[in-house]
Amino acid sequence: MRMRKKKHGEERRQALAYLLIDAADIKPGTVRHFFQNADKPLMLEIGCGKGDFVIGMAKKHPEWNFLAIERVPDVILCAMEKCSAAFADDADCNIRFCVANANTLTEYFAPGEIDGIYLNFSDPWPKSGHEKRRLTYGSILAQYRTVMDAGRSVTFKTDNSGLFAYSLLSFEANGWRCENITNDLHHSVWNQENIITEYERNFSEKGFPIHRVVAYAPSHNPEILPKIEKPETTEDDTSK
């Protein structure tokens, strides 16, 4: 997501420091302790954008904790400011934010530490040479499988039919069980429980149908787990 640089971004992030976890401080097995109640299940949103989804989910599920990661600091600042406005009492807030790249999840989380993952409108990277950057590429799914136990799920929404078709194949090829698949979420039985994201609002207003799948982690993944490869870095690349 591109965004004009925010004025006083660093100071504004510091003013909400209680919401922000420094990626360097997260060691496998520690992240729960950054939340008010460390015992709640921990959900992870990857690429949270401006935060509408994670805030909606956190309000709907106070019994869970949510960690929202996003690689663009000014984008996460927007999400943090919305979050602070949404929770009148800081002590009730079950969300924490972290500027981080999803490519390195296993550096942050211990096996089985995450209870569910949400991917919303992930960048499509349509060129075949950029396949490894897609957040549903095999080696990234292997990282999700490592940080989550068997039977935990990745919920994936997108407007991009090409990325959706690719992702269904990738999940299945890597042993994940795909359920609750829809090519038109907003006209499906699941619409009522759906929490809408910023991109989702934008695309559906333009008439694009929204695709959604819930993919369940396999009990084991011997083909992939021993050889997790680190995907190419995407930090400075704007050539999507």
Ligand X SMILES: C[S@@+](CC[C@H](N)C(=O)[O-])C[C@H]1O[C@@H](n2cnc3c(N)ncnc32)[C@H](O)[C@@H]1O
Question: Is 116 among the residues that bind ligand X (CB under 6 A)?
Answer: no
152 or 157: whose CB is closer to ligand X? 157
In 3D space, the residue among 203, 202, 193, 198 whose CA is nearest the CA of residue 164 turns out to be 203
Question: Least Å distance between CB 122 and ligand X?
Answer: 6
User: How far, in Å, are 13, 15, 31, 188 from residue 192 at the CA level?
Assistant: 34, 36, 32, 9
Measured CA to CA in angstroms, residue 16 lies from 3, 11, 12, 76 at distances of 20, 9, 7, 11
Please identify which residue in 102, 148, 168, 215 interacts with ligand X, judged by CB under 6 A.
Answer: 102
Distance CA 43, CA 47 (A): 13
Structure-block tokens of residue 79: 């999400």
Interface with ligand X, residue 120, by CB under 6 A: yes
Binding to ligand X in span 38-57, by CB under 6 A? 46-49
Answer yes or no: are the C-beta atoms of 181 and 169 closer than 8 Å: no
Determine, following the binding rule CB under 6 A, whether residue 159 of this chain makes contact with ligand X. no
> Which residue lies nearer to ligand X by CB, 85 or 88?
85
Question: Which residue among 44, 67, 68, 75 contacts ligand X (CB under 6 A)?
Answer: 75
Q: Is 123 a catalytic residue?
A: yes
Considering beta carbons, is residue 91 or 114 the nearer one to ligand X?
Answer: 114
Vertex 170 angle, CA 189 and 109, to 5°: 90
Tell whether residue 156 is a contact of ligand X (CB under 6 A): no
Q: Is the dihedral of CA 123, 128, 129, 134 positive or negative?
A: positive
138 touches ligand X by CB under 6 A: no
Interface residues toward ligand X, by CB under 6 A: 1, 46-49, 69-72, 75, 101-103, 120-123, 197-200
Active site residues: 123
